[in-house]
């Protein structure tokens, strides 16, 4: 049947914990107001709990979570997200990369990495010990899962990400290593590494560098979140090959809102280099019931 990989993103665990006024004396105040005015009514635990239950029933071989587990970078949120991960997902079978909300203000990302590190580390865990967390590599059967971080602290009203030279060098090495091993290479990143996929204030800085790396060294699949949309793009791989870049709606989006309802993408991967087979099926919360799921996309990416 092949290796099954599920993908969710933008969990935005809620509700927000009780917040002291002094904790809002930063960019957090704008995020807090946005949560109270908009997100609290659209991003809910009912949709997320339904999605987690459906993932358990699906029993995929591995789960990828591409960031934004939290909202405004409160220490209590980081702890709650660690507990949520431990309660629901085995770190051996789950890989996490951070999003911009996980680096909401300076210092938040370091705390998140420390709290969530079993889910965002090499199989030997040495990258965390050395303080060089990203990119990291996990190998599962014939699939290489490579976690890249685009998460950086930004000013108010900016939700941009960054991919720079330091990560690019390590990503090149991992892509070459896993290509030689004959693995299907899946790169996880929060921000879409595609031009015009987001408004300018939410873009990824370093798109050109990321695409240059993929164009020269290749990958079979890139998964992202950030936009809360079911985005489908292609970027150039070696020798004119096309690499699918797939986004997924927020894992906690209630039905009937402006954005698509909570969704997980399911990939089935089999085959070997030059003869890969990969299918994508999207499973979305039914807007009417908030408990059942509809297949909202089904396509073949390879084979």
For the chain, which residues make up each domain, given as ranges? 3-13+25-302
Indicate the average pLDDT of the chain.
93
Which strand ranges, in their side-by-side order, compose the sheet holding 232-236?
136-140, 143-147, 184-188, 221-224, 242-247, 232-236
Can you spell out the DSSP letters for 130-152? TT--SSEEEEETTEEEEE-----
- What average pLDDT does range 138-143 have in this prediction? 98
Confidence of residue 160 (pLDDT cuts 50, 70, 90): very high
Q: Is the pLDDT of residue 296 over 90?
A: yes
**Other C-beta atoms lying within 10 Å of the C-beta of residue 125:** 12
Rounded percentage of the chain residues whose pLDDT exceeds 70: 95
- What average pLDDT does range 100-129 have in this prediction? 93
Q: Are 7 and 232 in contact (CB under 8 A)?
A: no
Q: What is the pTM of this model?
A: 0.95
Q: Is the pLDDT of residue 284 over 80?
A: yes
Tokens 């087979």 -> residue: 277
Give the whole-angstrom CA distance, residue 7 versus residue 65. 6
pLDDT digits (tens, 9 = 90+) for 229-275: 999 999 999 999 999 999 999 999 988 888 999 999 999 999 999 99
Q: Is the pLDDT of residue 197 over 80?
A: yes
Helix 207-217 with 165-180: angle, nearest 10 deg: 20
pLDDT digits (tens, 9 = 90+) for 198-234: 999 999 999 999 999 999 999 999 999 999 999 999 9
- What average pLDDT does range 13-19 have in this prediction? 81
Give the whole-angstrom CA distance, residue 278 versus residue 3. 9
Q: What is the pLDDT of residue 42?
A: 74
pLDDT digits (tens, 9 = 90+) for 67-105: 999 999 999 999 999 999 999 999 999 999 999 999 999
**Other C-beta atoms lying within 10 Å of the C-beta of residue 283:** 20
Confidence of residue 14 (pLDDT cuts 50, 70, 90): confident
Confidence of residue 127 (pLDDT cuts 50, 70, 90): confident
Q: Are 4 and 61 in contact (CB under 8 A)?
A: yes
- Eight-class DSSP state of 60: -
- Helix, strand or coil, per DSSP, at residue 87: helix
Say yes or no: domain 3-13+25-302 is CATH 3.60.21.10: yes
> Lowest mean pLDDT: which of 38-42, 164-168, 275-279?
38-42
Give the whole-angstrom CA distance, residue 236 versus residue 258. 31
């Amino acid at each position: 049947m092949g290796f099954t990989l599920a993908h969710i993103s933008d969990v935005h665990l809620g509700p927000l914990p009780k917040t002291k006024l002094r904790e809002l004396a930063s960019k957090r105040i704008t995020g807090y107001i946005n949560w109270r005015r908009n997100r609290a009514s659209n991003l809910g635990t009912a949709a997320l709990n339904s999605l987690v239950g459906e993932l358990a029933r699906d029993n995929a071989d591995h789960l990828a979570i591409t960031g934004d587990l939290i909202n405004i970078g409160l220490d209590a949120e980081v702890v709650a997200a660690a507990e949520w991960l431990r309660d629901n997902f085995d770190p051996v079978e789950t890989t996490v990369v951070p999003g911009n909300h996980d680096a909401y203000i300076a210092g938040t990302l370091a705390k998140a990495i420390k709290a969530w590190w079993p889910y965002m580390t090499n199989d030997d865990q040495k990258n965390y010990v050395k303080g060089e967390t990203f990119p990291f590599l996990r190998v599962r059967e014939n699939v290489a899962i490579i976690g890249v971080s685009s998460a950086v602290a930004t000013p108010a009203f900016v939700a941009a990400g960054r991919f720079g030279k330091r990560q690019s060098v390590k990503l090149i090495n991992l892509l070459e290593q896993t290509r030689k091993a004959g693995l299907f290479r899946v790169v996880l990143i929060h921000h879409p590494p595609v031009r015009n996929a987001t408004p300018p204030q939410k873009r990824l800085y370093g798109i050109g560098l990321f695409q240059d790396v993929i164009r020269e060294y290749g990958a079979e699949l890139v998964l992202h979140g950030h936009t809360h949309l079911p985005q489908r793009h292609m970027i150039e791989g070696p020798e004119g090959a096309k690499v699918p870049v797939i986004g997924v709606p927020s894992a906690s989006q209630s039905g009937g809102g402006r954005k698509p309802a909570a969704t997980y993408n399911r990939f089935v991967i089999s085959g070997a280099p030059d003869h890969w087979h990969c299918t994508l099926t999207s499973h979305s919360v039914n807007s009417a019931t908030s408990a059942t799921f509809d297949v909202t996309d089904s396509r073949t990416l390879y084979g």
